[in-house]
Structure 1
Amino acid sequence: MARGRQRPDPDRSAVNLFVKYVLFFINFLFILVGLSLAIVGGYVLYLKEKKVRTPIDFFFDPSCLMCLAGCIAFVLAFSGCAGSLRENTILLKIYYYLVGLFLFLELALIIFVFVFYYVPDARTTLKLYPEDILKEAIVKYRDDDDMKNLIDVMQQTLYCCGLSNDDKGYLDWNLNVYFNCSSSNQSPESCAVPFSCCNIKSGDKINYLCGGGALKESDPSTQLSSRIYTQGCLKGLQSFMDGSALIIGGVCIGVLLPQALFVCLARMLKDQIMEQRSKWSRT
């Protein structure tokens, strides 16, 4: 005699405990990380009495970025952590909508970078010229030590000088009042570029004045490029991307896939909670 279909157990919860507690513990860890970043970043801003007047002041300051990342991580993780632990569908909706929004923005940023570097015609049509905005950081290079350090690290890491998307990025330093190459500039750094632009090879003696007089040469010569990096950092970023495509692709996948998984888990848990509530309403 064939067995009939087994009826679902009305006493069995529709909520999967594995899904529930995976969301809870992962988001609890992100709450701790977010709080740590926000507290450390805020404390640094308090100590140096940072005044943010423009987007460049914000996005070129590591402590501001730490605060932003910490606050975002805390808000997202709190809604996911509390929503999963308390089985609150409203918080779970907030969580997967916000995570989905950030996932979309990250994909849009990846597409923007791809279009900027590999589709020049589209870049011209859409008038994508981020270098015009970034040059403000050159002007404010001496105004904030954190901004200065960030630019220095960028130039040394990407083997670049200035922020333009061409081979004459070093000329961007004419925009800075200390490095500007003009007869009226009495600064001892006149016509020079920062030390982070210096092309120092392994075994070379360190010469902190290697960028002296670099701005007097309007065209990058072989002699000049042996002393300093001449390409702008937007051009240097493209060179880095071309040489590290697999690494960048792996990082993007490693960042995007977990977010997509969290969205799916939160949506699944919300549906399970709704199913359990409907079972209670029928009893």
Structure 2
Amino acid sequence: MEGDCLSCMKYLMFIFNFFIFLGGSFLLGLGVWVLVDPLGFREVVAVNPLLFTGVYVILALGGLLFLLGFLGCCGAIRENRCLLLLFFMLILFIFLAELSAAILAFLFREHLTRDYFSRELKHHYQEHNNTTTQPDVFTSTWNAIMTTFLCCGVSGPEDFDESLFRLLSPNKMVPEACCQRNRYLGDVGVDQCVSGGSVALRHNKGCYSAVVEHFEAYIYSAGALAIVVLTIELFAMVFAMCLFRGIQ
């Protein structure tokens, strides 16, 4: 009975890690494909710092999954104690890193307040000329947030008063990312929006409230997903250690 149980765990672990191996291979191939410059993608990625960082995140995640799948598959099917031990240690490291990140996020959650984001926005957000320069990562991130969530500033457009943005662009009340986008406005509507001539043409809701309301519906799903991932990792460690101890 014990041999049948170990054999069942061996093949289950092999199948599970085979899918992890395929997923890691796909992510690695995707990252390399973009960096190799197919159809000019490399120039597009290099222009945007967020996309450039995202490519390396994909490569790192793909490499990690590739290594995990390889160690799990080979260790299980070949009944190799050394590979199983490496697999267990790598899973344990990831598990502890995730727990540490969750604990740090809980401890420092009080620092990520509305006032903190408002101060950062005032001191670091800056206007740029689209024809000559590219925005820094901080400005690009905030532009993406305000465009995606149809909001302006942290608490509202007033966050740009007495800010670095107003110092660099004294004729503008808000950046273009705060303006409503539709085919009826045109350049005239955008000019009225950024100059403060028409409050109705801009988004007046703060991004802090907009983002919180948007993700509030997904918080339980994210929590459930985190629990599922941690549970899978625990089972993977138990299976690996059972096979390690059962292999003679």
TM class, shorter-length: 0.5 to 0.7
The structural deviation recorded for 1:71 is: 0.9
- 1:112 counterpart = 2:104: yes
1:94 aligns with 2:86: yes
Match of 1:280 in 2: none
* CA displacement 1:35-82 (0-9 Å, x = unmatched): 111111121122115669xxx946864322221211111011111111
The counterpart of 2:202, out of the listed 218, 221, 227, is 227
Shift of 1:108: 2.3
Unaligned 5+ segments in structure 1 are 1-7, 184-189, 218-222, 278-283
The 8 Å contact of residues 24 and 63 in structure 2, kept in 1 or not, is answered as yes
Give the aligned partner of residue 22 of structure 1: 12
Whichever of the two has the greater Rg, that structure is 1
Q: Which residue of 2 aligns with 1:260?
A: 234
Distance 1:136 1:69 in 2: 30
Q: Which residue of 1 aligns with 2:155?
A: 167
Aligned to 1:68: 60
From 195, 206, 220, the counterpart of 1:246: 220
Question: Where does residue 187 of structure 1 map in the other structure?
Answer: none
Deviations 1:159-202 (A, max 9, x none): 5556xxx4258749x778xxx5246xxxxxx665355x5567xx
Q: Assess if the C-alpha contact under 8 Å between 1:16 and 1:269 holds in 2.
A: yes
Cross-structure match for 1:193: 175
Q: What's the TM-score once normalised by structure 2's chain length? A: 0.67
* C-alpha distance 26-112 of structure 1, shift in aligned 2 (>3 A): same
Give distance in 2, aligned partners of 1:231 and 1:88: 56
Amino acid at match of 1:30: I
Whether 1:46 aligns to 2:36 is yes
Note the C-alpha offset of 1:271: 1.2
Deviation at 1:152, TM superposition (A): 6.4
Distance 1:21 1:137 in 2: 54
* 8 Å CA contact 2:179, 2:193 repeated in 1: no
Question: Kindly tell me: are residues 161 and 254 of structure 1, through their superposed partners in 2, closer, same or farther at Cα, counting changes over 3 Å?
Answer: farther
Among candidates 181, 198, 201, match of residue 169 of structure 2: 181
Structure with bigger helix share is: 2
Structure 2: unaligned runs, 5 residues or longer: none
Q: What one-letter code is carried by the residue in structure 2 that aligns with 1:105?
A: A
Q: Alignment length, in residue pairs?
A: 230
Distance 1:79 1:136 in 2: 45
Label 1:143 to 1:255 Cα distance change in 2 as closer, same or farther (>3 A). Answer: farther
Q: Conserved in 2, the CA contact under 8 Å of 1:191 and 1:213?
A: no
